[in-house]
Amino acid sequence: MNITRRQVLWAGGAIGTTALLAACSGGDDTSGKPAAAGGKPKKGGTLRIGALGRAGAITRDPHGTQGNESDYLILALIYDTLTVPGTEPNTEPRLAASWEASTDLKTWRFKLAKGATFHDGTPVTAADVVWSLKRLRNTPSGAARLPGIKAENIKSEGDDTVVLVSDYANAELPLLTRLTTFVLKKDTSDKELEKAPGTGPFKLDWYRGGNARLVRNDAWYGGTVHLDAIEVKMFETPQAMSSALLAGQIDVASNVGAVAARTAESRKDIQVVRRPNDMSMPIVMRTKSGPFADERVREALRLVVDRDAMVKQVLSGYGTVANDIMGTGDPNYAKGIPQRTRDLAKAKKLLTEAKFDLSKTYDLVTTEDIPGLAESATLFASQAREAGIKIQVVKQESGAFYEKTWLKGDLYTTYWGTNDSVVFFASKTLVSEAGQNEAGFADKEFDASYRKVIGTADETARGTALRELQQIEYDKSGYLLWGMADGIDLAVAKVQNLPKLPGYGRVQLENVWLS
């Protein structure tokens, strides 16, 4: 299997989500498993966790491009972000204890958690946070990580308040601060990065070649941490990681995938932790031009797909059927819109109305970046053939795909880690001016609806606007989202309270304990 930074960052990803705060919710609602032995957390023990990574892609920079899950995991245990993903609401406090927006939703004030200190004992100040966010913003990917926030618009107010001013109204700005806003001490030089103290639940004991040992930070402001230590072991492949788990060399195989889960199903001593809404592999149909520009053709393709069969075969059943709306993990996801199912008759009728050329063969471009992606294309092609649409699957090497097909092609597969909000996907991929508008979608009604959503402070009014936005997406967008893959971790029986949130939710291990 080929792991690219795209998989690592986005499959899990930059979008992922996470466990919640020990401080805020005590962790009961994220119980990895119906807690054994009365469920009272026990203190102590070392958790040995495997994570994917490659020696050539190692990075120690919290604001760099983390190509390795192992590195991201280690960074996330040492450094805190301002906010973290949760279930409901989907953004929860961390280093920022609370936040509020100005009435125009452009200026956001984040109040830092009381008593937060770095591992060397010095208190965390707003100046440290401002310095860290500016450093992040000035990386090559900074604009993508903190969209709409210029470096000069990141300021401090006193010792405990950080002010972010967005270029435009943005009701979901705290969501952007969830995953990469790792806070370091002001003026940490690049040379000191490897030993720089963080503020997180664990302190670095040692790091070598992608492997690390972390010990509990007893002074953590976020609550009680149960484990004495966490050992992170880097694995190049999910196969090697699952061998290590089955042989008892590690306790958790993080994000190991469906194949390993199938192997482990027969073992009573291994828990299979399924994190729903972890990843989507939608098919993109170009809306701007080409054979799929007609709305009716796109709907026909959405009616052609057999969603149950896709989930069963492509995801080995480790997933759920989806309804062509991106952001299924959002608490505001429109569950009320009826599930689209297979309807070949209606599809054929729509194709005829649209005068779709059934004599031609259409290319569906895919990659093997993540397991199941190319398989999803092949299965879809055979399902489409039943409706008389001839689709030929073209596999492209990852580099070529991103250069030639992504954002440009008529018909291709893509993938996104999700649980991020519906608005996140709207802003990234669906508004006309979105930098990653994969389908070339430009719809005035949708744009207006999106502006209304991000410009509305009132929760109820915002909810209504959000439902409208999702209806438009369901009716017209260029996405065919047939299903959502579960994230899958394997763990030995004694591991309790593993996070169950999708994506990078898996990295927040402060509530884990060993029975």
Partner 1 sequence: MSRTVKDDVVAVPARSGAATVPRRTGTLVLRVAAAVARRALMLAVLLAVVFAAVEVLPGDAATATSERGDSAADVAARRHLLGLDRPLWERFWDWMTALPTGDLGTSARGQKVTDLLADPFPNTLLLGSAAFVLTVVASLALGCWAASRPGRPIDRIIGHAATSAFAVPEFVVSVGLLLVLSLWTGWLPAVTLTGADGNPTTWTMLIMPVLALVIPQTGWNTRIVRGALADQASAPHVEAAHLDGLPPHRVVLRHALPGALPAIATGIATSTGMLLGGAVAVETLFNYPGIGSVLAAAVAGRDAPLIAGVVMCAGAAISLVLLAADLVRARMLGART
Binding site for partner 1 (CB under 8 A): 2-6, 9-10, 14, 54-59, 64-65, 67, 140-141, 143-145, 206, 208-209, 211, 213, 233, 235-237, 239-241, 243-244, 246-247, 249-250, 397-400, 402-404, 428, 435-436
Instruction: Provide the 10 A C-beta neighbour count for residue 211.
Output: 16
Question: In this structure, what token pair is assigned to residue 272?
Answer: 């299979």
Question: How many residues are listed for the chain in this entry?
Answer: 515
The nearest distance, CB 294 to partner 1, in angstroms, is 28
| Cis peptide preceding 89, ω within 30 of 0 | yes
CA distances from 479 to 91, 286, 371 (A): 26, 9, 20
Helices (H), 120-214: 126-137, 142-145, 173-176
Q: Which is nearer to partner 1, 233 or 298 (CB)?
A: 233
CA distances from 58 to 66, 71, 196, 505 (A): 8, 7, 17, 21
The nearest distance, CB 451 to partner 1, in angstroms, is 21
The nearest distance, CB 210 to partner 1, in angstroms, is 8
Terminal-to-terminal C-alpha distance of the chain:
34
Q: Which is nearer to partner 1, 178 or 226 (CB)?
A: 178
d(CA 455, CA 87): 23
Which residue do the tokens 């997406």 mark? 473
Q: Which is nearer to partner 1, 419 or 496 (CB)?
A: 419
Each residue of 219-247: b (16+ CB within 10 Å) or e? ebbbebbbbebbbbbbbeebeebbbbbbe
* SS3 call for 273: strand
Q: Which is nearer to partner 1, 191 or 335 (CB)?
A: 191
d(CA 101, CA 104): 8
The nearest distance, CB 195 to partner 1, in angstroms, is 14
d(CA 71, CA 57): 9
Q: Which is nearer to partner 1, 208 or 444 (CB)?
A: 208
* SS3 call for 324: coil
Q: Which is nearer to partner 1, 127 or 407 (CB)?
A: 407
The nearest distance, CB 367 to partner 1, in angstroms, is 11
d(CA 457, CA 513): 39
Q: Which is nearer to partner 1, 102 or 141 (CB)?
A: 141
Contact 227, 46 (CB under 8 A): yes
Q: Which is nearer to partner 1, 69 or 294 (CB)?
A: 69
The nearest distance, CB 245 to partner 1, in angstroms, is 9
The nearest distance, CB 50 to partner 1, in angstroms, is 9
Q: Which is nearer to partner 1, 243 or 313 (CB)?
A: 243
The nearest distance, CB 70 to partner 1, in angstroms, is 12
Q: Which is nearer to partner 1, 107 or 263 (CB)?
A: 263
Those residues whose C-beta lies under 8 Å from the C-beta of residue 180, and which sit 6 or more positions away, are 14, 62, 63, 81, 136, 145
The nearest distance, CB 267 to partner 1, in angstroms, is 11
CA distances from 337 to 108, 328, 446, 473 (A): 33, 12, 17, 11
The nearest distance, CB 384 to partner 1, in angstroms, is 27
Vertex 475: Cα angle to 421 and 367 (nearest 5): 65
Q: What is the DSSP letter of 20?
A: -
The nearest distance, CB 261 to partner 1, in angstroms, is 17
Those residues whose C-beta lies under 8 Å from the C-beta of residue 511, and which sit 6 or more positions away, are 19, 22, 27, 30, 41, 226, 497, 499
Q: Which is nearer to partner 1, 4 or 199 (CB)?
A: 4
Helix (H) or strand (E) holding 259: helix 258-264
Q: Which is nearer to partner 1, 112 or 241 (CB)?
A: 241
Which of these, 85, 91, 224, lies nearest to 512 by C-alpha position?
224
The nearest distance, CB 104 to partner 1, in angstroms, is 26
